[in-house]
Structure 1
Amino acid sequence: MASIQQRGKGSFLIQFYDKDGRKRGVSISRSTKKFANNLAMHIEAINGANRSGHPLDGSTAQWLSEIGDTLAGKLAKVDLIKPRSVKTLGQFLKEYFAERSDWKLSTQIKHNTSRNHLLAHIDESTPLREITEAHADSFVRYLKNDIETMKSTATRSKVLSNVKEYFRAAVRKRLISASPFAGISLPKQGADRYHYVTQDQAGKVLEACPDTQWRLIFALARYGGVRIPSEINGLEWSHVLWDQNKILIHSPKTEHHDGRDKRLIPIFPELRPFLDDAWEIAQAKGYRYLIMATRSSDGLSAAYIRKRMLKIIEKSGTLP
């Protein structure tokens, strides 16, 4: 029978005699006595099957198929099972990204960027189990010091948030016992990145906008509180409820929360003139969407809007 020896709080050693009569042991930490008892039971079943040459019982075979690579590696080390093929960082990311069919295109782009930065610093052939907290610390320094596009705290925070997500998924899949990024805190974003746009400044920006479409984009953001670009892409004139003086806004960023896939916003008096101007043109040209300017099949990108709007703000003379 496999025996259990407790070595400290949450640490256990399960010992057994293999088919050659050698005394072997499997150690576990950060665990419970219940888990140790269950592990000992399955070790006894595996060892018994190895000694007798009989097939494993169904419950232990099922248990083996569900355990993570870390525990499987410990069992293989004492010749209870054959070593599993090693899952590398690159293989895991490829499989995880393929699973995430729920990501919007803009989300996919952000995750592709995060993955590329991670693989630029940690080789894709690195086994998942060999990635440590030291790798995580080094990656944080790499983003902050070596990548010019990561000077923004918000950008670094998003990349790190995504990477932490990947390793949490690896833990849930039992590929690793703990995430090396668990102890990494996201960079704090200072209040100085926020700026209140006064009515006077808003007016100057609107005057600097080149056409009706750009005035409407800015007005929807400033007066309607609409997220740019996720909530203007796909915004149709059929969503403008003139008789109710409201606009139905579909929100891709919050649609995964119950009851938060859409909301109604008032057509505020400050917003109405820009909506009326755009509607007049839309009727004449047969536009389906509120924002038709340089539309691609997936709408306006955040990068494009940011680039154009920065030029407009610079022209208006309202840069903070």
Structure 2
Amino acid sequence: MASLEHVARDGRNHYRLRLSLDKKRIRIGLGEFNEEQANEAKEHIEHLVGQHRRGRPPAPSSADWLDRLPLEIHDRIASHGLVEARQRAELPRTVLAFMRAYIKSRTDWKKPENYRQAVDHLEAYLGKDAPLGSLVKGDVERWQRWMIDDKKGPKLSPNTAGQNVKRCRQMMRQAVDDNLIESNPFVGVKIDLRSDTSKNRFIAADQATAIMEACPDQEWRVIFGLCRFAGLRCPSEVLRLRWSDIQWNRGRFKVTAPKTKRYGKGTRIVPLFREVRTELDALFSIVGPGLECAADSYVIQRYRCSEANLRTTYNKIVERAGLAVYPKPFMALRASRRTELERSGRHKNHVLNDWFGHSGAIAETHYLSVTEDDFLDALADEPASNVPSTDLEGTQEGTSVDSAGPSADQQKPKKANDCVPEMAGKALGKANQYTRRDSNPQPSVPKTDALSN
């Protein structure tokens, strides 16, 4: 009989079977199976072991189950001779080749170029491809330091270098699941994923107006308005907005958020802010949804091509507006709106989190910033007496600007008694009224006695 055990390792929870086959104890990992799937696998594998001993093929129900199995689980069962291995292409046995093949197979990824860049940096460090089993944890740590500090390296930030290590770790996990290597050399390497606040920028209202006026057409004005005044992610959320998502009469619209879909929050509702509604109204009158185009068509039509680089065009718009180009432009717009609404104090924190599609902790770490208005507000709360004056007319150095001129007491140097409290000074003044006496006083002679002699 097989026994099912639950294993928690490296932050992953999975099941595996322990059973006896040909007088040997073997283990079969079940990957990402949940408890129900693991129990089903236990029943079928026990059946396969019995049929293996009798020299018979599996029952139709078990054969159908085998056909539905993921390739890696099927290979693990086949490695023990319980079933025949599936026909498949030979997997690469070197690090770089395996990673590039894995990236090519992940057609579900939205940004595979990030993983390609990580592999390119690893290739630049290694110089040539290496066998999968030859890479160890120390090599990964040296590669990470090379990306950050080495003169010949790309001089990446610790955050970016850590992201590259994290992506390679994910790809090498597949090599472990394919039984090509026993352990993942990227596991256990410490990475620094702290936010780089030096790249944060706040786009003030006057700057936003200048950029808006520099936009080349109405679609770009809508793109900028959605980013700066509604806080949408660009391009993922901006390009997914449809005219049918806008509820004009209720003053709100639906945002499709692919980034948070994996967390069960694929959509959210955002207010139709005045600045956004103005630009959408202008574009609506141009394209005529329901007349000139479908009522559920995308709001942004001209810049949907994958080759259209919105960031490059936006940087040109910023330069045309007479402003300096800044890093992470679209995130800066989104962060500026979150900071702006947070400063207004009109909305609760949980409300803003729901509108922007992130948590309060994420907002504090990556979005909120200190603005020039914060400093002005702090100075506005200070009393006038605490603010030094620059008007020195009629005053002398070292005197208060509140007095017309130095008094006679101020001109005289202070004595030690000047620092004595008022009550003590009065007592001291009374003591000074007594006549000083000789240290060896003689008895005084009455005037009447002197005259009588």
**SS of alignment partner, residue 271 of structure 1:** helix
Deviations 1:224-278, CA, capped at 9 Å, x for gaps:
11100111223222222223322221112122222x1111211111211111111
Contact 1:88 1:124 in 2 (8 A): no
Equivalent residue for 1:136, pick from 129, 140, 144? 140
Residue 123 of structure 1 deviates from its aligned partner by: 6.2
Structure 1 Cα separation of the partners of residues 223 and 317 of structure 2? 12
Which of residues 232, 240, 254 in structure 2 aligns to 1:226?
Answer: 232
Shift of residue 198 of structure 1? 1.8
Q: Hey, what does 2:247 align to over in structure 1?
A: 241
1:45 paired residue number: 24
Contact 1:249 1:264 in 2 (8 A): yes
- What is the percent sequence identity of the aligned residues? 27
Aligned 8 A contact 2:158 2:193 in 1: yes
Query: Larger radius of gyration, structure 1 or 2?
Result: 2
Q: After the TM superposition, which residues 258-297 of structure 1 pair with which residues of structure 2 at under 5 Å, given as runs?
A: 258=264, 260-283=265-288, 286=293, 288-296=297-305
Asked if 1:317 is matched to 2:322, the reply is: yes
- Going from structure 1 to structure 2, the CA distance change for 1:201 and 1:88 (only over 3 Å counts) comes to same
Residues 12-161 of structure 1 mapped to structure 2, 5 A cutoff: 45=24, 66=76, 87-104=93-110, 107-122=111-126, 125-144=129-148, 145=150, 146=152, 148=154, 151=156, 155-161=160-166
Cα distance in 2, alignment partners of residues 152 and 195 from structure 1: 18
CA distance in 1, matches of 2:91, 2:232: 49
- Higher mean C-alpha displacement, 273-282 vs 287-296: 287-296
Pairwise CA distance, 1:124? 6.8
- Matched to 2:106, the amino acid is R
Report how far residue 299 of structure 1 moved.
Answer: 7.7
Compared with structure 1, are the counterparts of its residues 230 and 156 closer, same or farther at alpha carbon in structure 2 (3 Å cutoff)? farther
In the alignment, does 2:185 pair up with 1:180? yes
Which position in structure 2 is the counterpart of 1:208?
Answer: 214
Q: Give 1:143 deviation, angstroms.
A: 3.0
Q: Structure 2-normalised TM-score? A: 0.47
Counterpart Cα distance in 2 of 1:157 and 1:308: 29
Q: Shift of residue 174 of structure 1?
A: 4.4
Residues 103-123 of structure 1 deviation map (CA, whole Å, 9 limit, x = unaligned): 22xx12322333333334346
Distance in 2 (alpha carbons) for counterparts of 1:64 and 1:277: 58
Gaps of 5+ in 2: 1-17, 26-48, 54-72, 80-89, 327-453
Partner of 1:164: 169
C-alpha distance in 2, partners of 1:285/1:114?
Answer: 45
Give the match's secondary structure for 1:223.
Answer: helix
Contact 2:93/2:132 (<8 A) preserved: yes
Task: Provide the residue aligned with 1:196 in structure 2.
Answer: 202
3-state SS of paired residue (1:228): coil
- Measured after TM superposition, the shift of residue 178 of structure 1 is 3.1
The verdict on how the C-alpha distance between 1:211 and 1:153 changes in structure 2, with shifts beyond 3 A counting, is: farther
Q: Deviations over 1:4-42 (max 9, x none)?
A: xxxxxxxxxxxxxxxxxxxxxxxxxxxxxxxxxx79x77
| TM norm structure 1 | 0.64
SS of residue matched to 2:103 = helix
CA spacing shift, 1:187–1:127, aligned 2, 3 Å: same
The superposition leaves residues 52-111 of structure 1 with CA deviations (integer Å, 9 ceiling, x where unpaired) of xxxx9959xxx99639x9xxxxxxxxxxxxxx998322453255335423222xx12322
Give the C-alpha shift of residue 316 in structure 1.
2.3
Aligned to 1:74: none
Say whether the 8 Å CA contact 2:147–2:153 is kept in structure 1: yes
Contact residue 89 and residue 126 of structure 1 kept, 8 A: yes
Secondary structure in 2 aligned to 1:249? strand
RMSD: 3.6
Q: What letter corresponds to residue 255 of structure 2 in structure 1? A: I
Which ranges of structure 1 fall in alignment gaps of 5 or more residues? 1-37, 47-55, 70-83
Tell me the alpha carbon deviations over residues 172-193 of structure 1, each in whole angstroms, 9 at most, x when there is no partner: 4444343222213035332122
Cα offset, 1:125, TM superposition? 4.3
> Number of paired residues?
247
The 2-side partners of 1:92 and 1:43 are apart by: 34
What's the CA shift string for 1:194-214, capped at 9, x where partnerless? 122222221122122222121
Q: What is the rounded CA distance, in whole Å, between the counterparts of 1:102 and 1:88 in structure 2? A: 24
2: CA distance, partners of 1:133 / 1:43: 36
- For the 8 Å contact 1:231–1:249, the answer to whether it is kept is yes
Task: Describe the shift of the 1:189–1:247 C-alpha distance in structure 2 as closer, same or farther (beyond 3 A).
Answer: same
Q: Is the 8 A contact 2:144 2:162 kept in 1?
A: no
**Which structure would you say has the larger RCO, counting Cα contacts within 8 Å and 6 or more residues apart?**
1
- Describe the superposition over 1:119-143 as per-residue Cα deviations: whole angstroms up to 9, x where unpaired: 3434674222211123212322443
In the alignment, what sits opposite 1:8? none
Residue matched to 2:363: none
